[in-house]
Chain A
């Protein structure tokens, strides 16, 4: 049985990996193999790294909503220098491709990040142009087609060590148009989607549940939306897509593959089931056995040909 996929030149032994920001830097689990075996993952995706350390937003940063989660972490992270010193040396020894998620407030920050991470020879970048939880950068960039295009060009110009994925979200933008711009400017793939902007209110206290008011919605609640976006964008671009948003079991993961995603990220569900990625890998093998599928590539995109009612 073959679960291997080629993701824009990255060879993954299976399509399943954690979503950025839901698995810290990945190295935290190296000695917990009985619960989470990261050596089985298709790839590892790090928390978003910025040029300088970021403290993130004040609490409350988390609120639960039906079948989902609002978060406003504000990209708290240790910054590029400490990442390269403390995390990368451990990460590169694991034997699994490592995708480093990056974020900048200014174009030149993306430039330096790409340059330094190229020098370190990290395996791939995922450029976050869609974080709803910071005032500057993030989503502001992903909303503007021109700026998005320029950042993709900058990153592609500096980072040669591996593919560059761009992460987008459907917040006030025509995500199809932005996706096309990314492809045109040389992005090697797309990660769809980041969290969707949302909010919740404690009506007794007349307070937002998240101190910043606005937050990013993730979890099973967004799965049908992310699935549809991958389905649609697949029809418009040729570069590979990583499906992300609301995966909670092997079925919801396979749905992404069936609409054409070459890989799948699992985020919030890790908080509920730390071993969920290993379980999805196991259950997918089981599914393939049951359906006599010898190669996972045979299900990728299979639902693009089937339209309801035909």
Chain B
């Protein structure tokens, strides 16, 4: 953890309530690994009070990038910040497991902005043996589609309104892909990032080979408040999302 004063280089409106925040922050960029996050102070006033956590979408040279959806006051105010200094705490959290899965194929499933850390993962490790599935509400902005193309190459999409790819929930899409033999759950490692409801819908996957990124509410992000509790499956209380995660093996936690 390090508190860094970054500099906003660009903040691009992508449409569909999403924006692309590009920040220069060398000390974080140099150390950032896929799966880690940065706790951003939205403004130096007292409201919003606590920082907001965002997954690292990309880290290269001294630049870090985020893919953010406007969902409330904090993210809206952040979307309006186009220039200037920005107060960052990071990188926080444990990184994704290094891709060391033998013959298994890695299946990455992202819901909404949950694709951000998964894209970083593919790029960081130059992953080859993988499938990438993106579940969205509606047709994602062109900008995002072309960036996905650049980094991921081929990917699969489902939209709830059917405006692109499979029509319906991403979980139903993945079930279909399994039925069709396109994905073999016995020979795959699943890495999921998205809203809790989506993660819950995937509990049919083999829990020893499924990893999920949790996005529970956080007050500190660095392990002192005990606010970000995730229930352990063995009944022995809770783990902390911010320091024990944010990625957990499904086998170890209860959603």
- Chain A residues close to B by CB (< 8 Å): 21-24, 28, 32, 35, 47, 53, 55-64, 66-69, 71, 73, 76, 219-220, 248, 268, 270-275
Contact A55 B238 (CB under 8 A): yes
Give every chain A residue within 8 A of B89 (Cβ-Cβ): 274
Contact B224 A59 (CB under 8 A): no
Contact B1 A62 (CB under 8 A): no
If A60-B217, A62-B228 touch, whether A28 touches B237 (CB-CB below 8 Å) is: no
Residue of A nearest to B41 (CB): A272
Contact A35 B2 (CB under 8 A): yes
- Shortest distance from the beta carbon of B158 to any chain A beta carbon, whole Å: 25
- Shortest distance from the beta carbon of A41 to any chain B beta carbon, whole Å: 14
Please, what's the 1-or-0 string for B224-236, where 1 marks a CB less than 8 Å from any CB in chain A? 1111111100001
* Bound: A275/B5 CA distance, A: 14
What secondary structure prevails in chain A residues at the interface with B? Answer: loop
Give every chain A residue within 8 A of B3 (Cβ-Cβ): 35, 273-275
* Bound: A56/B239 CA distance, A: 11
Give every chain A residue within 8 A of B48 (Cβ-Cβ): 64
- Shortest distance from the beta carbon of A52 to any chain B beta carbon, whole Å: 12
- Shortest distance from the beta carbon of A229 to any chain B beta carbon, whole Å: 20
If A35-B2, A272-B51 touch, whether A248 touches B223 (CB-CB below 8 Å) is: no
Count of A-B residue pairs with CB < 8 Å = 98
A-B contact pairs, 12 of them (CB 8 A): A21-B226, A55-B236, A55-B238, A56-B226, A59-B228, A67-B49, A76-B238, A220-B49, A270-B220, A270-B224, A271-B50, A274-B1
Residue of B nearest to A24 (CB): B224
What secondary structure prevails in chain B residues at the interface with A? Answer: loop
* Bound: A47/B51 CA distance, A: 22
How many B residues are at the interface, by size bracket? 20 to 34
* Bound: A271/B228 CA distance, A: 13
Give every chain A residue within 8 A of B231 (Cβ-Cβ): 58-59
B118 within 8 A of A: no
Select one of A23, A62, A248 contacting B227, CB under 8 A.
Answer: A62
- Chain B residues close to A by CB (< 8 Å): 1-3, 41, 46-51, 89, 216-231, 236-238
Contact A67 B47 (CB under 8 A): yes
Contact A69 B217 (CB under 8 A): no
If A66-B47, A69-B50 touch, whether A21 touches B229 (CB-CB below 8 Å) is: no
Give every chain A residue within 8 A of B221 (Cβ-Cβ): 271
Give every chain A residue within 8 A of B224 (Cβ-Cβ): 22-24, 28, 270-271
Contact B225 A62 (CB under 8 A): yes
Contact A73 B50 (CB under 8 A): no
Contact B216 A59 (CB under 8 A): yes
Select one of B46, B220, B230 contacting A271, CB under 8 A.
Answer: B220
Contact A61 B227 (CB under 8 A): yes
* Bound: A32/B89 CA distance, A: 14
Give every chain A residue within 8 A of B47 (Cβ-Cβ): 66-67
- Shortest distance from the beta carbon of B71 to any chain A beta carbon, whole Å: 12
Which of A23, A32, A59, A69 has the most chain B CB atoms closer than 10 A to its own CB? A59
- Shortest distance from the beta carbon of A137 to any chain B beta carbon, whole Å: 18
